[in-house]
């Protein structure tokens, strides 16, 4: 179950004081996402959710599109996620096979930095963690 970091309620239940709507989330840069430590921690945290590769994109969409705050780039430009962006980031592969390989990095450390073509996938996964689990996201990004 996903809980609001501020009011500790289920995300589906609106906050009485609307603190979630006032949150500003900053997305990770390519440099941050390409660090091996960030990549591996993101895989570990993703695996810990216990979701199948087909459930994972649904979780991401629920978290990202259910967020009422602002999402920005580090330079304060707005980071806008459209309806098709999650599917497009995964090359419209409905099976999401890449996620299975990605989750294996939770057990086996990657030998090389992630390639530039998967940065948007990693950014969306990282964004979902920054929204749903801010404390875990801090651990991922350290």
pLDDT tens per residue across span 2-26: 555 555 556 555 554 444 567 899 9
71 touches 81 (CB < 8 A): yes
**Other residues' Cβ atoms within 10 Å of the Cβ of residue 77:** 8
**Other residues' Cβ atoms within 10 Å of the Cβ of residue 41:** 21
CA 82, CA 16: separation in Å to the nearest integer? 28
pTM of the model: 0.84
Q: Is the confidence at residue 119, as pLDDT, over 50? A: yes
84: helix, coil or strand? Answer: coil
At residue 17, the pLDDT reads 46
At residue 51, the pLDDT reads 94
Sign of CA dihedral 40, 136, 87, 84: negative
40 touches 83 (CB < 8 A): no
Span 68-118, pLDDT tens digits: 899 999 999 999 999 999 999 998 887 888 999 999 999 999 999 999 999
In this structure, the dihedral spanned by the alpha carbons of residues 64, 26, 125 and 15, taken in order and rounded to 10 degrees, is: -40
At residue 8, the pLDDT reads 55
**Other residues' Cβ atoms within 10 Å of the Cβ of residue 15:** 16
């Amino acid at each position: 179950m996903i809980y609001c970091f501020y009011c500790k309620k289920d995300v589906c239940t609106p906050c009485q004081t609307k603190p979630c709507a006032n949150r500003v989330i900053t997305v990770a840069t390519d440099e941050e996402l390409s660090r091996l430590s960030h990549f591996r921690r993101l895989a570990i945290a993703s695996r810990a959710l216990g979701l199948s590769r087909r459930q994972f994109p649904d979780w991401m969409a629920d978290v990202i599109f259910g967020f009422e705050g602002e999402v920005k780039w580090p330079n304060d430009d707005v980071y806008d996620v459209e309806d098709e962006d999650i599917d497009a980031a995964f090359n419209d592969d409905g099976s999401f096979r890449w996620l299975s390989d990605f989750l294996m990095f939770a057990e086996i450390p990657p030998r090389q930095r992630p390639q530039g073509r998967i940065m948007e996938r990693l950014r969306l996964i990282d964004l979902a963690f920054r929204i749903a689990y801010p404390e875990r996201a801090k651990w991922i990004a350290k």
